[in-house]
Structure 1
Amino acid sequence: MSSEEQDPDYRFTLANERTFLAWIRTALALIAGGIAVVQFVPEFGIPGTRHGLSIVLTAGGGVLAALAVRRWQRVQAAMRRNEELPATRVPMLLGGGIFVVTLIVLVILVIWPPVGQ
């Protein structure tokens, strides 16, 4: 640790850790959703759509987990240096991504209902 750095108040460190764990839970939920789509959702009217959706959800969960680690590190470093916390676009990207996936799935369900329905 350099002379410019100092240990932040442990409450802030623990708050940063709780935020990190919340992002990890969200990532795990996306990965679990990707697995659930392949295992439990009937095939959509467009072949391969179910697997494509599963890949998007699972990959999104993996990317989010990696971004969560990076965010935790950046916030911890900023607190040690007594700097402003770094800005992030992850919540906006995550929300927008889920919104887009939802719209695509709704369009597919309306236009091409699941096979056998």
Structure 2
Amino acid sequence: MSDSRFDRRTLLKTAVASLVALPCASLVRRAEADELPHLSEQDSLAVAMGYVHDAHKVDPNKTPQYKPGSFCHNCVQLTGKEGDTWRPCNLFPGKTVNKDGWCKVWVIKPGAKPG
């Protein structure tokens, strides 16, 4: 029985430590955003997500998910400092995307207007 309690305690301590570390990791990620490499359109994940640096180049006939006026800068997944051209995206960890880009996972940011 005592082994069970120890395992549970260890699990809880680890879970709490992880929850505390997540916001810290986010701050470090934001601080290092300027140092992150730009996502390549040829990156395998970028290809799978249909990412392009310039949303104006998306062919709506080939990509029915695309809606005119949808850009990374008005997507809920984009993070980083408003106004920066290259910013981190939750979908492409460790890379930055162009604010005028687009991918198939685009979801409008609450309060944002397409365009």
Please classify the TM superposition score into its range, dividing by the shorter chain length. Answer: 0.3 to 0.5
Structure with the largest fraction of strand: 2
The normalised TM-score by structure 2 is 0.33
Structure with the largest fraction of helix: 1
The normalised TM-score by structure 1 is 0.32
